[in-house]
Structures are given as C-alpha cells and as structure tokens.
Structure 1
Amino acid sequence: MHIRAKNELDAFIGIDLGGTKISAVLLDRGGHIVRRNERPTYAERGVDAVIRQITDGIDSLFSGNGPSFHPSIMGIGVATAGVLDSANGIVKFAANLRWKEVALGPFLSARYRCPVRLYNDANAAAFGEWQMGAGIGTDNCLYVTVSTGIGCGIISGGRLITGVEDSAGELGHISIDSNGPRCSCGNYGCLERYCSGTAIARIASEQVRLMKVDAALISKLAGNDPEAVTALTVAKAAELQDPLALRLLREAGTALGIGIVSVIHLLNPEVVIIGGGAANIGEPLLEPMRAVVRERGISSMTANVKMVWSALGKDAGMIGAAALIMGE
C-alpha cells in the first residue's frame, strides 16, 4: 500500500459496516487508497461497542505505521445493509447488527465535523465497481452480491438508481416460484431462498442432518457438525468434485440465472458484475448462471452482456461509499 508523505490532504473515508467485520478506507481526491484497515464488528456487544469499533477504525487511518499526516476529513460514507433513512443518517433496522433507530450519521458528523452519508451496501459496491472496478467505461451495469442474501446495485444511463427510499435493487426478493417457501420479507419463493450463501449452506446442512450418504464429504469438511456447514464448505467439496456439492451449486447457479435474466430484460445492462462472499465459489456457480441467461434470455439483449467477477472484491462497498461522498 502506498502511503502519501504529505502533511495535509483532503481525505474521504469509506466504511463497510457488516455483521461480522468493519472495513475502513481513506481515499485522496484522486481516488487513490491512502490507508485501510479491518476489525471485528462485535455486534453481539451492543450498539456502543460497534460504534466504538467504527471510530477506532477511522482514527487508526491517521496513525500507526508509516509517516504521520493530518488530513482534512471532507466526508465519510458508510455502506451497510438494512433499512436506512439516508437523508438523516439513521439505521432504522439492521438485522445483522441487531440495530433499530440508530442515529449513526449525526454521531459521526459531530465527532469528525464533516458530512456523513449512509448508503445501501449493494448500491455502494455497484458505484465502486463502476468508478474503479469491473464497470469502468460502461453507462449501464449491474452489481449482484451473492452473500448472506442477494442484493443488486444498478447503474443505468450513467446514474446510480436508488429509488424513493434508497431501496431499489432488492433482487433477492423477486419471486421465482410463486408456490415456493415463505420468505422473511413476506413474499413466497424469493430468489435468495435458493441461491444466497445462506440458502446454499441451509440446503447442504439439511442433507447432512438427514445423514444422506452423498453428503458424507460435506459433513466431513464441516467436522460432522451440520451447524458448521457454510457455502464455502460446499465450494471446497465441489473443488474435490463431490457430486452433491456440484449439484447444489448447479441448482443455485440456475436459480441465480433465472433472477438475472429478469433484470437483464428490465434494465438492458452492458455488464453484470458478481460479487459478495459467495462469489469465491467461482465457476461451479457462475457457469450454470451463464447457461440460463443464454437459454432463457432474449438473445438480442443477452448476447453481448458480459458476466464477470467483481474487480474490487470485498473492498467494493467501502471504496464505493468513499467515492459517493466524494461526489456529493
């Protein structure tokens, strides 16, 4: 990482506030990464503990190893999941943080004496990829995050589409089976019930609990504990050519493709960028997704759509949040 040796610079800070970790990045006006760090969230310890982790992360961007400098903080962007009141900087509800009505923006603004904005994490990641990652040079791209749930950030006509309440892009709650299981959102057969990292882990765990013979390798990789099965457990089994793991990922990729066909038809993008933790699964998930897009999509709309992995990886959200506040 390059550390600028200036005594003064205009700094823009991006925070990715997740349920298990908090990542922070400092960008200069040119969009260059000056410093970065990551620390656990400690959501189980309550709101004050999480906020302390956020402020410690910000403070440590200006200290530690390397030359010291004293930048002027021009703005802080926070990317997070949940229901947000972005205009007033309030996290209205975030299940992964166990938060309700937390005025994070006003607190950080008063502490650091700068503007603070909250952004939906998928929207921030989409903006980051568009400005500095796999979406550079496009005016119409989608960022689809495959993680605990399924989210989608939309760049259309060179603009980030957020909707009336910054809630646009809930791809995970598009129904792909009207007779499917009820989702926590109230809908039935939601996409994320079939292809999120949580869904992949849940379905595999059920096979282990039933002591299915074909679940033996997944069970072994999870220490014979159904509760320890994750999407990456399934991915590791797939790398070893385990038939069950390959089938589960093929089914998840197929479901993801069905959802993506719908948004391609709706928004006509140039590029679909796949990110999130489950993106590490790789081709066993992506290839069946591509196949469904080819088979089910209107050929004139899908023939030239590029389906690519995120270029920024886990950094997309915090870089996007910093870039968004920089542009305001």
Structure 2
Amino acid sequence: MSNKVYAGIDLGGTKILALLLDEQGDVVYRSETATQAHEGAEAVIGRMVGLIKSSLTSERELASIGVATAGTLNAKEGIVAYAANLGWNDIPLGKRLEEEFGVPVSLENDANAAAYGEWAAGAGKGTQNCVYVTVSTGIGAGIVSSGRLIRGRDNSAGELGHITVDMNGPRCTCGNAGCLELYASGTAIARNAGKLAAEYPEKAAALLGKAGGAALTSRHVAEAAAEGDELSMRVLREAGHALGNGMVTIIHVMNPEVVVIGGGAANIGAALLDPMHEAIADRGISSMAAGVRFVGPTLGKEAGAIGAALLVGQ
C-alpha cells in the first residue's frame, strides 16, 4: 500500500491552512497557524515549511505541494508577483518550497483552487461542468469546463464581479461601469442599505438597531430582513436580481451542470437567492437555465487547500 501524501496549503492574509491528502484524495492531516504577514515573506514561508514538516512521519512520503493564494501569480515560474493581503512582490515561493522538500510545487489562484476542490471532492463532484461563485466582499468565480479548470491567459479567468449588469451604472474601481460587484457583493449590500437608511430615516430604525451605532454590514441587513424589515428586504431583493443577471451570463457562456454559491453574503439565504432565481427564470434561456442545479459548498474553508493539492501537475 502506497504511503504517498499530497500537501495542500491555503495561504491567506490572516491564517495558513495546511492539509495532507492520501492517494484516494481523503484528508489525513490538517493544521493551521496565523500568517503574521507583517513579519515578512521569509517568516511566512518558514511557517508554511513548519506546518508541512510537522505533518510528516516515517509512514508518509511527501509527493507534491500545492499552494492556493490570492494575488497575481506567475504560476509557471512559481512566483507570487503581487499579493496585497500579504504585502508581497515577486516572491519565489515555489522555488523556496521545492528547495526545502525536493518535490514538485505549484501555485494556484485561491478562487480557482476552491472551485476545483468543490468540483473534484465537494458539491460539484461527479459533474463535468461546474462554476463556483463566491459572493463576499467582492464577487468572483472559478470555472471547471469538461473536467478542466479554466485559468485564462494570465490566471485571471472568472472575474464575474466585473461583468456589466447596468450599462448606465456607476464607475467601478476596475475601470468598468455598472459592475455586478457594485450591486450584489456583501460590500454593495451594506453600502446600498446605508444609502436607503439615509434617504428614508423613518423606515431605518430596525436596520440601524442591528448595527448598534457601528458601520452597517451585510450581516446586519440579513438579520433585519429575516425579521421582516421592509427596507432590508428591498436591498436584498435588488441585490438578488442583480446577482441573477450575472448568473444568466455564466449559464449562457459556460452551460454548467451545477453552480456552487459560497461566500459570506450567499449565507443570507432565501432573501437574496429567491430574487436571484426569479431573475434567472425571467432572463435566462429556459432550456439552459432549467438544467442547472444551484447548491451550497460542502468543503468549507478547506476547499482551496484541497483544490491546490489536487491541481499539482495539471
């Protein structure tokens, strides 16, 4: 029986999660630690090395390492070109890990890695065409088509948050106008709720009460909507319709079997997702839209690390 194991690491600005997968793809070890990026790249890499070394025993032979991380990557050269959450520029992470362990190392965009993880071992398992959409601070997507991860020319495929849903909408920081992210992300939900609260202060007591004097968040909006607050329900209804318009684009372009919806804002549930489905039914090509299953993720915070481990060499 083989004792080979495959390491997957999710490198985030707050924490580092390390997993080991056996040859069946099952997680046999997990550990995490604080990133402490302010201490510099070498210190962070040292923590990654430490997590992997502490996971290895005489009965485990390390075969490869996959790293999921945010930012701009030169995956071919194993370089993190730029990662704002880490403060990194041109860090040869792949080379450092290869020197330390003598095994193949690959870097993958964290959204793509999570998408592949959910497709291979989670909510999309058993399909050939799967899209993983994250609705959080921003909106992004990872795409698996015919069993292959779609990366694009420079690993930037899947920028769902920056498709136009309003031709006459406001300018986005990306340079486009009317981007989906401006209407349906967690950030947008909180911002638009604040605008409505300022416009209709006589209707905002329940919503503002959830915030308790702090800045509004999408969680506050969701909590107020769950209790029947009309202003909050209006915000989520509008966000859901915008999200549905974005989903129609994904359905028409990628023709997926399943769309996995994750991220904090997606946890809002029916108040956001029911209007999304309404928009899809109204705008989507019925024969294409009807064949899509919408599901939640099953791997949780481990999706990126699992996907990274499975993607080495692909």
Q: Give TM-score scaled by structure 2 length.
A: 0.91
The partner residue of 2:188 within 199, 224, 246 is 199
Whole-angstrom distance in 2 between the partners of 1:100 and 1:110:
20
Q: Which residue number corresponds to residue 246 of structure 1?
A: 233
Tell me, what secondary structure is at the counterpart of 2:123? coil
**Structure 1 residue 39 corresponds to structure 2 residue 26:** no
The partner residue of 1:22 within 16, 36, 43 is 16
Whole-angstrom distance in 2 between the partners of 1:58 and 1:277:
29
Inter-CA distance 102–79: structure 2 relative to 1 (3 Å threshold): same
Q: Does structure 2 conserve the Cα–Cα contact (< 8 Å) formed by 1:175 and 1:191? A: yes
Whole-angstrom distance in 2 between the partners of 1:108 and 1:24:
14
Whole-angstrom distance in 2 between the partners of 1:230 and 1:22:
26
Q: Please tell me the residue identity of whatever aligns with 1:322.
A: A
The partner residue of 2:270 within 267, 280, 283 is 283
Cα displacement string for residues 58-82 of structure 1 (whole angstroms, at most 9, x for unaligned residues)? 34434xxxxx655222111111222
Q: Which residue number corresponds to residue 220 of structure 1?
A: 209
Whole-angstrom distance in 2 between the partners of 1:60 and 1:282:
39
**Structure 1 residue 165 corresponds to structure 2 residue 154:** yes
Cα deviation for residue 241 of structure 1 reads: 2.8
Q: Which residue number corresponds to residue 297 of structure 1?
A: 284
Q: Does structure 2 conserve the Cα–Cα contact (< 8 Å) formed by 1:149 and 1:198? A: yes
Q: Does structure 1 conserve the Cα–Cα contact (< 8 Å) formed by 2:196 and 2:231? A: no
Whole-angstrom distance in 2 between the partners of 1:268 and 1:291:
18
Q: Which residue number corresponds to residue 78 of structure 1?
A: 67
Q: Which residue number corresponds to residue 295 of structure 2?
A: 308
Cα deviation for residue 245 of structure 1 reads: 2.5
Cα deviation for residue 208 of structure 1 reads: 6.0
Whole-angstrom distance in 2 between the partners of 1:99 and 1:322:
22
Cα deviation for residue 316 of structure 1 reads: 1.4
Cα deviation for residue 125 of structure 1 reads: 1.4
Inter-CA distance 209–112: structure 2 relative to 1 (3 Å threshold): farther
Q: Which residue number corresponds to residue 3 of structure 1?
A: none
Q: Please tell me the residue identity of whatever aligns with 2:88.
A: W
Cα displacement string for residues 191-235 of structure 1 (whole angstroms, at most 9, x for unaligned residues)? 112212222233334556779343333433333112xx3322322
Structure 2, unaligned runs of 5 or more: none
Structure 1, unaligned runs of 5 or more: 1-5, 63-67
Inter-CA distance 46–136: structure 2 relative to 1 (3 Å threshold): same
Q: Does structure 2 conserve the Cα–Cα contact (< 8 Å) formed by 1:83 and 1:93? A: yes
Q: Which residue number corresponds to residue 11 of structure 1?
A: 5
Whole-angstrom distance in 2 between the partners of 1:170 and 1:44:
28
Q: Which residue number corresponds to residue 137 of structure 1?
A: 126
Q: Which residue number corresponds to residue 155 of structure 1?
A: 144
The total of aligned residue pairs comes to 314
Whole-angstrom distance in 1 between the partners of 2:169 and 2:4:
51
Whole-angstrom distance in 2 between the partners of 1:20 and 1:207:
33
The partner residue of 1:317 within 304, 307, 310 is 304
The partner residue of 2:252 within 251, 265, 277 is 265
Cα deviation for residue 86 of structure 1 reads: 0.7
Cα deviation for residue 308 of structure 1 reads: 1.1
Tell me, what secondary structure is at the counterpart of 2:298? coil
**Structure 1 residue 54 corresponds to structure 2 residue 48:** yes
After TM superposition, the structure 1 stretch with the greater mean CA deviation from structure 2, 290-299 or 51-60, is 51-60
Q: Does structure 2 conserve the Cα–Cα contact (< 8 Å) formed by 1:290 and 1:307? A: no
Q: Does structure 1 conserve the Cα–Cα contact (< 8 Å) formed by 2:163 and 2:246? A: yes
Q: Does structure 2 conserve the Cα–Cα contact (< 8 Å) formed by 1:277 and 1:314? A: no
Whole-angstrom distance in 2 between the partners of 1:275 and 1:87:
28
Q: Does structure 2 conserve the Cα–Cα contact (< 8 Å) formed by 1:79 and 1:321? A: yes
Q: Which residue number corresponds to residue 65 of structure 1?
A: none
Whole-angstrom distance in 2 between the partners of 1:267 and 1:167:
16
Whole-angstrom distance in 2 between the partners of 1:190 and 1:117:
32
Q: Please tell me the residue identity of whatever aligns with 1:119.
A: E
- RMSD (Å), alpha carbons: 2.3
